[in-house]
Structure 1
Amino acid sequence: MGSIGIWQLLILLIVVFPVIPLLLTAFSKRTSGAQKVGWIILIVFTSWIGYAIFLIVSSFMNTQSQQQT
């Protein structure tokens, strides 16, 4: 009693692990508005792969906008 079993830990990871990229994107300052909504929709369907694409593309977009100014 009082300890977490392996199955409970596994279920917790299965539930929490896919939500992490969604939260990281939702609270990111790299994008805003409709772009953020689009990224969140992509991440809902692709999870970590979508988050990796988000990081790559958003950093590329940020460097492009900094070079133009």
Structure 2
Amino acid sequence: MTSILGLSLTALLVAGFIWFLPILLILRSRKTNGAEKLFWILAVVFVSWFAWILYLLLAPLGERKGSEH
């Protein structure tokens, strides 16, 4: 019984990390900042990985100020 419980806990932790991974990647990204970054994080929380894929394709939504990249 203990191994089944341990396996379930491990699976839950792995699933939680996979769910949280896009949020960490957005937080560490330099593509956006401020309110736009908050928007993308909320989109990931409420919409799922599809929002992260859109982030990779579309971010930044507007022109960044002070950047010559």
Q: What TM-score results when the alignment is normalised by the length of structure 2? A: 0.69
- Name the structure 2 match of 1:65: none
Alpha-carbon offset, residue 10 of structure 1: 1.1
Give distance in 2, aligned partners of 1:35 and 1:59: 8
- Name the structure 2 match of 1:55: 56
Q: Please give the secondary structure, in 1, of the residue aligned with 2:32.
A: coil
Q: What TM-score results when the alignment is normalised by the length of structure 1? A: 0.69
What amino acid is aligned across from residue 20 of structure 2 in structure 1?
Answer: V
| Residue correspondences, number | 60
Give distance in 2, aligned partners of 1:38 and 1:10: 29
Moved over 3 A (4+): 59-62
Q: How much identity, in percent, do the aligned residues show?
A: 29
Unaligned runs of 5+ in 1: 63-68
Q: Please give the secondary structure, in 2, of the residue aligned with 1:14.
A: helix
> Alpha carbon RMSD of aligned pairs, Å?
2.6
